[in-house]
Each structure stands twice: as C-alpha cells, then as structure tokens.
C-alpha cells in the first residue's frame, strides 16, 4: 500500500454516516438520562430498559424491511396496514390452538409476501409511483379490514404469546429475534449478489441495467421482504395482544419506520445506507419514546418531534449530498485572477498520480 489519503478517507467515510448515527444514539441516551435524572428518577431501570427494547423490536422489524425498499429507491407506505392484517390472519388461523401456530405463521407470512409481490409488480411492471402504489394497497387493505371486522378477532395460543411477552433478563425475546433478523439483513446486503444489486438499482438503475442486472428483480424482492417484515411485526403485535386487532394501522407505523430508516443515514433516493444505521435510528426513536414516557410528556408532542426530526434529518443529508459535484475545476475559483501564464493545475489532486515512479 502506498501512502495515500484514500484508505484513510475511505475509513472515515465508512465509519462516517453510521458512526455519526450511533454517536447520535449515544448522545440521545446520555441527554435523555440526564433529563430523567433531573426529574429525580432513573432512565436505566429494568422496567425502562425493557420498555425501550420492546418498542425497539416492533419498530425494528418494520424498519429493516423499509430499509431494503428505500435502498432500491422505492417506498412502502402499506406496512402499517399489512401489520394490522397480519395480526388478524395469525389470530384467526391459530384460533387459540397451539398445533396451528406454524400454520398461522406460514399463512401470515405467505399473505404478506403476496402483498409485497403485488406492490413490487405494480411498481416495476405498471410503472406506478411506489408512493401511490403502496398507498393504494394500504387503502385497499384498510377497506377490507374495516368492512370485514368490527373489532378484535381470533385468538393467539399462549405458547405463541411468549414471542411477544417473555424475555431473558431485560432483553425481550422479540428484540433478540429482531436483532438476529437485522444481522441477517446486514449479511444479505453486504454478502449476497441480490443485496449488491439492490444498491446498484437504487444508485442508478441505468448503470445496473448496463451491467447486465435486471433492475426489476431487486425492487420486487425488496418489496416482498419488506411486506414480510411487516408480517412479522403483525405476528409480534398479535402475540402481545393475544388477538387480532385491526386498529393497529392507526399508529402511523409506516411513518415511524421511514423516520428510523432516514435517521439511520439511508438516502431516501436510494443507493446508500444500510440496516446497521437503521438499527441506530430505531433505538434513537425508541429511546425518545421511553424518555418521554418516563417524563410523562404528552404523547402528542412525540408526533410533533417525530415530524420535525424526519424533516431535519432529510434536510441535513440533502445538504451533505449536494456539496459534492463531479465537476473538476479547471481554474481555481475566486481570489485574484491568476497571472497570464496560468498556474498549472496544482497538486491539489493526489489522485491518479499512482505509481509515483
């Protein structure tokens, strides 16, 4: 290796966004605990920690899937509705019978995958704006749920409720499952061709196409996986409630998931980011929720903050993105005009000087 600034710059860059998000998470934790301490209580009590992790697990599932979709330069606004539908499907199929747990999980995830497939096909084949597509499927599901069900239905067997309710120490089982899924997703994005192609399609689908990638495939895959994670979120909710509940969709999960993804440093326009950052985003939001709860802040203030945080995060990233242009200056700008014999393009670019003889 020649002494060149590239590796260092690269290291900083890699650590850059994700590192910053984790630093922000640490900051939120510290500031949050200070605030709580001023109120005379303690943020890291067992109850609070469990609360934090529990919140994190649900949001985490949704955000993992949303990360994949956003990386492909798409978007999924239907996840809240898919989760609501999944609580119903799982509770009704399981019908309180432990022997039907596997069937219930299968039916739930299968249906979710189907919805994702529809989303993906409509986006890629019919070329409908993903925002509109998933809004449309979301409304369709909502219409179905509201028409078909008037209230909670079905029943989750106690055995499956352990998924939502039991924990090891302060770590809920659901959080462990979520973290395991996150690790899988990270591996998927970093170590599989499909993961690589998701970045490529999100970055520039034309470049991907010219490299022999069929751009539809990663987009459809991402939508299927995203809906399936929403299905898992639905399973988790059902196991916590013990029944299916349609009103889940009122909780604005899709926006919270997008907020977590964007906070985690994934570009809304695709091609850059990852699940590791998203996890930090998830726990920032979960920490804020827990802190607000401990401080008994009005729940509506959380909405205000959530909205402000998402806008601010996207604005900050938009600024960063815009700073770089690929235009190579031919002449140094500003300052006094250079003397007639112009300075040769200076040594500013250590660049392609490679193999300095």
Partner 1 sequence: MTRPTRLSPGALSSALRGGTGTVAVLLTLIFLVIAVQNPSFFEGPPLMAFAKKAAPLVVLALGQYLVIVSGEFDLSVGSLVGAQVVIAARLIDGDEASTLPVIGLMLLFGLVVGLVNGLITTVLRVPSIITTLGTMLILFGAVRYWTGGAPTGALSEGFRVFGRHGLDGVPVIGQLPWALVIAAVLTVGAVLLMRSPYGRSLMATGDNDTAAAFSGVRVRRVRTLAFVGSSLAATVAAILIGGFAGVTAQVGQGLEFTAITAVVLGGVVLGGGRGSVIAAVLGALTVEALFTLFNQLYLPSTIQPAAQGLIIIAAVAYASRRGDRRPPRHARRRPVHPNDRPLDPSRR
Partner 2 sequence: MNAAPLLRMTGIDKSFLGVRVLHGVDLELRSGELHALVGENGAGKSTLMKVLAGVHRPDGGRIEIDGAEVSFDHPSRARRAGVSTVFQEFNLLPERTVAQNVFLGREILSRGLVDDRAMERTTAELLDDLGLEGISPRARVRHLSVAEQQVVEIVKALSHDARVISMDEPTAALADHEVEVLYRIIARLRERGVGVLYVSHRLKEIFDLADTITVLKDGHRVDTVPADDIAPADLVRRMVGRPVSSVFPERLEPHGEHVGRVRLAVSGGGNTRLDGIDLEVRGGEIVGLAGLQGSGRTEIAHALFGVDRFTRGEVHVDGRRVDPRSPRRAIRAGLALVTEDRKARGLALEQSVTANARLVLDAVNPFGSARRAARVPGLLSSLELVARGGPRQEVRYLSGGNQQKVVLAKWLVTDPGVMVLDEPTRGIDVGAKQAVYTLMRELAAAGVAVLLISSELPELIGMSDRLVVLDDGRVAGELPGGSDEETVMALATGATREAVS
Binding site for partner 2 (CB under 8 A): 1-2, 4, 6-7, 9-10, 13, 187, 190-193, 195-197, 199-200, 203-204, 206-208, 210-213, 267, 271-272, 324, 326-334, 336-338, 340, 342, 344-345, 349-356
C-alpha to C-alpha distance for 52 and 158, rounded to whole angstroms = 24
Instruction: Extract the tokens encoding 24.
Output: 């922000």
Verify binding: residue 194, partner 1, rule CB under 8 A. Answer: no
CB of 222 to partner 2, least distance (A): 17
Stretch that binds partner 1, among 24-32, 38-46, 95-103, 255-263 (CB under 8 A): 255-263
CA atoms within 13 A on the CB side of 166: 8
**Residues near 172 by beta carbon (within 8 Å), at least 6 away in sequence:** 50, 53, 54, 57, 165, 166
331: contact with partner 1 by CB under 8 A: no
State the binding partner of 195 from partner 1, partner 2, none, CB within 5 to 8 A by kind: partner 2
Give the nearer residue to partner 2 in terms of CB position, either 138 or 215. Answer: 215
User: How far apart, in Å, are the Cα atoms of 63 and each of 113, 148, 229?
Assistant: 16, 28, 8
> Closest separation between CB of residue 127 and partner 1, Å?
4
Of 98 and 307, the one with the shorter C-beta distance to partner 1 is: 307
Torsion of CA 253, 258, 260, 264, to 10 degrees: 170
By CB under 8 A, residue 152 contacts partner 1: no
Task: Give whichever of 116 and 271 is closer to partner 2, judged by the CB atom.
Answer: 271
Size, binding site for partner 1 by CB under 8 A: 52
Question: Is the Cβ of residue 166 or residue 211 nearer to partner 2 in the bound state?
Answer: 211
Q: Which listed option, partner 2, partner 1, none, makes contact with residue 192 (CB within 5 to 8 Å by class)?
A: partner 2
User: Which is nearer to partner 1, 103 or 121 (by Cβ)?
Assistant: 121
Residue 350 contact partner, candidates partner 2, partner 1, none, CB within 5 to 8 A by sort of partner: partner 2
Q: Taking the complex as a whole, how short is the minimal distance between the CB of residue 194 and partner 1, in angstroms?
A: 21
**Residue 137 binds which one of partner 2, partner 1, none, with CB within 5 to 8 A depending on kind?**
partner 1
With binding defined as CB under 8 A, does residue 326 bind partner 1?
yes
Residues that bind partner 1 (CB under 8 A): 73, 75, 122, 126-129, 131-133, 135-144, 146-147, 204-206, 252, 255, 258, 262, 268-269, 298, 300-308, 310-311, 314-315, 318-319, 322, 325-328
């Amino acid at each position: 290796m020649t002494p060149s600034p590239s590796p260092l710059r690269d290291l900083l860059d890699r650590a850059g966004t994700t590192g910053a998000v984790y630093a922000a998470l640490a900051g939120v934790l510290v500031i949050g605990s200070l605030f709580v301490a001023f109120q005379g209580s303690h943020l890291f009590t067992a109850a609070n920690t469990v609360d934090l992790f529990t919140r994190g697990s649900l949001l985490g599932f949704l955000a993992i899937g949303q990360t994949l979709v956003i990386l492909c330069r798409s978007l999924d606004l239907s996840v809240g509705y898919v989760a609501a539908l999944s609580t119903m499907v799982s509770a009704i199929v399981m019908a309180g019978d432990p022997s039907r747990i596997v069937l219930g999980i299968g039916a739930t995830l299968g249906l979710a995958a189907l919805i994702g497939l529809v989303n993906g096909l409509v986006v890629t084949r019919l070329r409908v704006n993903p925002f509109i597509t998933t809004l449309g499927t979301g409304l369709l599901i909502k219409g179905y749920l509201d028409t078909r069900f008037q209230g909670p239905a079905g029943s989750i067997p106690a055995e499956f409720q352990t998924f939502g309710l039991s924990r090891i120490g302060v770590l809920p089982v659901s959080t462990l499952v979520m973290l395991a899924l996150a690790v899988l997703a990270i591996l998927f994005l970093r170590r599989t061709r499909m993961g690589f192609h998701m970045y490529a399609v999100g970055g520039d689908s034309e470049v991907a196409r010219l490299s022999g990638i069929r751009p539809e495939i990663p987009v459809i895959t991402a939508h299927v996986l995203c809906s399936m994670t929403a299905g898992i979120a639905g399973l988790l909710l059902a196991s916590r409630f013990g029944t299916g509940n349609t009103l889940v969709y009122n909780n604005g999960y899709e926006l919270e998931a997008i907020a977590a993804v964007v906070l985690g440093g994934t570009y809304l326009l695709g091609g850059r980011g990852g699940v590791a950052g998203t996890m930090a985003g998830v726990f920032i939001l979960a920490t804020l929720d827990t802190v607000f709860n401990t401080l008994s802040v009005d729940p509506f203030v959380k909405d205000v903050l959530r909205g402000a945080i998402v806008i601010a995060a996207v604005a900050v990233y938009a600024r960063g993105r815009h700073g770089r242009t690929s235009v190579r200056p031919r002449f140094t700008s500003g300052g006094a005009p250079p003397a007639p014999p112009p300075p040769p393009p200076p040594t500013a670019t250590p660049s392609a000087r490679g193999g300095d003889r």
